[in-house]
Homo-oligomer: A and B are copies of this chain.
């Protein structure tokens, strides 16, 4: 007889004046999620930063969601176990979807090493608004760069569950865009990504 609201049967989607269509018309571009995936040190955040600049300069409403930043706020209760990392991706995908609802192009920069979880993100966001960018860079090169000194700590056993060392990275099976940051500079890769996504925002 007792129904607990936790099953959410009494929560319904509320219609608002502000809609995706209204934002699209007003901002003169579509809103999509550009999902960067790759090893730590592959260049995801540098690329997201550069591409966001190019989009901003072309009057696109744009924002960057970053693993480091969200982990200090929304997801600060989550660790790096496989289940916590999955929840991390789920929440980021839900937030990215809200930004799409607001008419904003979102660049997300997360290692997101598991194919199934990236597909979960794609499903949450909606496949028509999800553009997967594989930032391809060898583990050797990422480890050599080691900008944050994390690989050294992982090798020393001071960090557990580190992607590429003692936690898997599954390459995307069918990414929309692939860039290789060993062969090409961040500037070159950014232009490739920008050129690939810009037309899709103006369809």
Contact = CB atoms under 8 A, between A and B. Distances in A.
Interface residues of A, number: 62
Interface in A71-120: 71-74, 76, 78-81, 84, 91, 94-95, 97-99, 101-102, 104
A101 B161 CA distance: 30
A160 B4 contact: yes
A11 B102 contact: no
Contact of A76 (B8, B14, B71): B8
Q: Which 8 A-B pairs give the minimum distances between C-beta atoms?
A: A6-B79, A63-B102, A74-B94, A5-B80, A73-B94, A17-B53, A11-B71, A14-B68
21 contacts: A2-B158, A3-B153, A3-B158, A4-B79, A4-B159, A5-B79, A5-B160, A5-B161, A6-B78, A6-B80, A10-B150, A11-B67, A11-B71, A13-B68, A13-B72, A16-B52, A70-B98, A74-B95, A74-B98, A91-B91, A99-B99
B8 A71 contact: yes
